[in-house]
Amino acid sequence: MTPMVRLAGVNKHFGDLHVLREIDLEIAPGEVVVVLGPSGSGKSTLCRAINRLEPIDGGVVEIDGKELPAEGRDLAALRSDVGMVFQQFNLFAHKTILENVTLAPTKVRKVSKGEAENRAKTLLDRVGIANQASKYPAQLSGGQQQRVAIARALAMDPKVMLFDEPTSALDPEMVGEVVEVMSDLARDGMTMVVVTHEMGFARRAAHRVVFMADGEIVEDSTPDAFFARPSSDRARDFLGKILTH
């Protein structure tokens, strides 16, 4: 089967810092991969390398069997197969929730306004905020805004969704509602790469845990195996710190 995501020999430096070291990673369609690792280990950079938001120094990135070029029109087209949700929601402040979700499909995909609105309403319903469609981002809670950000990414009908610490900027009581939307997506068969500190999500929703340290994938296993028997000292240290935190 063609992997939905394939990274082969991916390297990235920031100056002298070798942030991604010969990363090889294949993710099957429908697989949910949680990326864990200490601060600075390269998790965000890995995520951003997958849609080439971060230029890489060498290696190959393929989405559904197609190589993402470094730049150009093909990159824009292929990148829209990859939805991304960040720690900060970055919604357009002066546009309504509905407009936030319809903007990219109408501008980039040239979908008609009516069709984009119908789809946006379905997506807003799916993330539980259909009744907020005419409001502006500032009128919503952080958790609601993050759910809009997820709906906005889904509006482009991506093949893969990347989540980079999507709950880190939220008040604790809002984390659950965002995790629930992500868990629903996982159950629906979306291919997902998720950088998160939510160990509950990792245990319940992930098919795989990838543990990074110093720009390398040190462990790649099931959540059960990883949490019960991490095989490296670095993973044991990491788990010791976060689980006693």
Ligand X SMILES: Nc1ncnc2c1ncn2[C@@H]1O[C@H](COP(=O)(O)OP(=O)(O)OP(=O)(O)O)[C@@H](O)[C@H]1O
Q: Which residues bind ligand X (CB under 6 A)?
A: 14, 17, 19, 37, 39-45
Please say which residue, 5 or 213, places its beta carbon nearer to ligand X: 213
Q: Smallest distance from the beta carbon of 9 to ligand X, in angstroms?
A: 18
Please say which residue, 19 or 156, places its beta carbon nearer to ligand X: 19
Supply the angle between the helices 142-154 and 172-187 in degrees, to the nearest 10: 20
Q: Smallest distance from the beta carbon of 102 to ligand X, in angstroms?
A: 31
Q: Smallest distance from the beta carbon of 223 to ligand X, in angstroms?
A: 19
Please say which residue, 45 or 146, places its beta carbon nearer to ligand X: 45
Question: Rounded to the nearest 10 degrees, how much is the dihedral formed by the CA atoms of 69, 75, 81, 86?
Answer: 100
Please say which residue, 71 or 125, places its beta carbon nearer to ligand X: 71
Q: Smallest distance from the beta carbon of 238 to ligand X, in angstroms?
A: 11
Please say which residue, 39 or 131, places its beta carbon nearer to ligand X: 39
DSSP 198: -
Q: Smallest distance from the beta carbon of 91 to ligand X, in angstroms?
A: 21
| Pick from 38, 121, 117, 48: nearest CA to 79 | 48
Q: From residue 190, give the alpha-carbon distance in Å to each of 88, 184, 210.
A: 22, 9, 18
Please say which residue, 44 or 102, places its beta carbon nearer to ligand X: 44
190: Cα separation from own chain's centroid: 11
Q: Helix, strand or coil for residue 217? A: strand
Q: Are 196 and 34 in contact (CB under 8 A)?
A: yes
Q: Smallest distance from the beta carbon of 139 to ligand X, in angstroms?
A: 29
User: Which strand (E) or helix (H) includes residue 138?
Assistant: none
Please say which residue, 54 or 64, places its beta carbon nearer to ligand X: 54
Q: Smallest distance from the beta carbon of 164 to ligand X, in angstroms?
A: 8
Which residues lie below 8 Å from residue 174, measured CB to CB, with a gap of 6+?
A: 141, 142, 143, 146, 167
Which residues lie below 8 Å from residue 189, measured CB to CB, with a gap of 6+?
A: 29, 30
Dihedral-angle region of residue 107 (phi above 0 means left; psi in -120 to 50 means alpha; beta otherwise): alpha
